[in-house]
Structure 1
């Protein structure tokens, strides 16, 4: 008799295994519905009935990870990997857990191991790229994004992810090219429009930037970042009144939008509205540095 059956003495071995299987399946639907506490309850009973099933440990670990119970997630992934040492899914998910905890070198070890087992796994490649960014290994992160794009050039979000990284590296022409690729795949991808607009602003292509940002706001009228970028573009084009209107709206949508306070402060300073400028710069310092 298995250890799990001892806690359910009324069930035969076959009945216990059958119940554990149904519980695992129901838990997967709970996970799909983001009902993670319900999933964890089902999986805990399933594990009690059939403790040798790696899938149950892995699924429960994933639910624990998603709701940020990271220590519990690690325990579950460790158990899953004892049962299935070459599970790319468990390794990748444990790597995500380590990354969320700031244990980036351990995360990288799990991602690298997982990718030896499943080299074409997009989500593991993406998780590894994110960890490389957190480690400030940006060139390597770009290379990982290149692998993702090579596997499927039709995924607009992959082009945007690399474009965002290029933008972070101040490689604006490369960023614009990637956002343009994303928009070929999905012409109404708001983030690609908004981010390409910002990259165009940074390369002094203000009219093109304005066109992208206008389109982004047509599609998403509450996009605070697009309002902020458009405000900066309008200021460069000499329309400070419209620029302030956009920045006011950006800050209304996100009262902790540090960059918008800074840009609005610079415009107020240019207009010699120094009290308003001081107020904006003070708020930016408070939000960013706690002053």
Structure 2
């Protein structure tokens, strides 16, 4: 067999453009299916065929970002923006990448630029609000959430996101109001039931908290956060055996659930099961602080 018999023939410019276009389209479907390695492979070939297509760089950057290959994502977004400097999508996605790396000021610069181009882009406003919260600029973050809700009050997640920020600020009544609004939009929103239950627990409204957490678990029996919160509520209500069962299940679902180890340790301590309590506190310290 002669050398090179399996090599692909060199494509004409028109054929290269056509193949690259199909590869980009297939990559978008791979992304929708969360098959990001396959998308990256298609986009890498597409870029090799047509290096000056900003969309291919942007899509590959997005796949890298989603699977947490952040440096590769930044490189791709930089190239996409070199080719298309006013791409709000690429700016927003690069901002999200900077935020994931803890480079919050750079993230804010990208979000601000993106919003001058697409001022009503909800996902960029949400990313900016998250960055502001991480910068401890909480009042400004609340202002961004207010803008998001004003644009469309029928998005349950927008109410929930602001509720989460209120809860982070220990403004539990405000958080409960927002979770309630989220549930008015989506009456089976598991996370809203779970988070409202947690907020109710924080202000000692245990019966209401238990009702919400029961509903969250009914809708999603493997919701580890709701199980952990219900375990804490049951303990506060004096049912330590049931609390331990919920916390056992929460930890079974997420072996790195630091808070659940801490709470279960406290419950076991109350039950005078001190060896088990010591093991849970030790595991919590390992997870949170790297103790060995």
Q: TM-score, normalised by structure 1?
A: 0.89
Distance in 2, matches of 1:243 and 1:67, equals: 35
Distance in 1, matches of 2:172 and 2:200, equals: 8
Does 1:230 find its partner at 2:230? yes
Question: What residue in structure 2 maps to residue 115 of structure 1?
Answer: 115
Question: What residue in structure 2 maps to residue 56 of structure 1?
Answer: 56
Question: What residue in structure 2 maps to residue 189 of structure 1?
Answer: 189
Q: 1:30-63 CA distances to partner (integer Å, 9 max, x unpaired)?
A: 2222233332333233333333322222222222
**How far does residue 10 in structure 1 lie from its aligned partner after superposition?**
4.3
Question: What residue in structure 1 maps to residue 13 of structure 2?
Answer: 13
Q: How many residues align?
A: 284
In structure 2, the residue corresponding to 1:149 is in which secondary structure? Answer: helix
Distance in 1, matches of 2:45 and 2:267, equals: 61
Segments of structure 1 that go 5 or more residues without pairing to the other structure are 1-7
Does 1:169 find its partner at 2:169? yes
Deviates more, 1:67-76 or 1:86-95: 67-76
- Report the CA distance shift for 1:172/1:123 in structure 2 as closer, same or farther (over 3 A): same
Distance in 1, matches of 2:58 and 2:201, equals: 46
Written as runs of structure 1 = structure 2, the 5 A alignment for 1:127-276 is: 127-276=127-276
- Report the CA distance shift for 1:221/1:118 in structure 2 as closer, same or farther (over 3 A): same
Distance in 2, matches of 1:218 and 1:141, equals: 33
- Report the CA distance shift for 1:24/1:278 in structure 2 as closer, same or farther (over 3 A): closer
Q: TM-score, normalised by structure 2?
A: 0.89
Question: What residue in structure 2 maps to residue 86 of structure 1?
Answer: 86
Question: What residue in structure 1 maps to residue 28 of structure 2?
Answer: 28
Question: What residue in structure 2 maps to residue 4 of structure 1?
Answer: none
Distance in 1, matches of 2:80 and 2:97, equals: 14
Distance in 1, matches of 2:21 and 2:61, equals: 17
Question: What residue in structure 2 maps to residue 5 of structure 1?
Answer: none
- Report the CA distance shift for 1:250/1:12 in structure 2 as closer, same or farther (over 3 A): closer
Distance in 1, matches of 2:210 and 2:145, equals: 28
Distance in 1, matches of 2:85 and 2:31, equals: 24
In structure 2, the residue corresponding to 1:93 is in which secondary structure? Answer: helix
- Report the CA distance shift for 1:232/1:61 in structure 2 as closer, same or farther (over 3 A): closer
Distance in 1, matches of 2:13 and 2:267, equals: 74
- Report the CA distance shift for 1:235/1:38 in structure 2 as closer, same or farther (over 3 A): closer
Q: 1:111-133 CA distances to partner (integer Å, 9 max, x unpaired)?
A: 11000100111111122122222
Deviates more, 1:151-160 or 1:47-56: 47-56
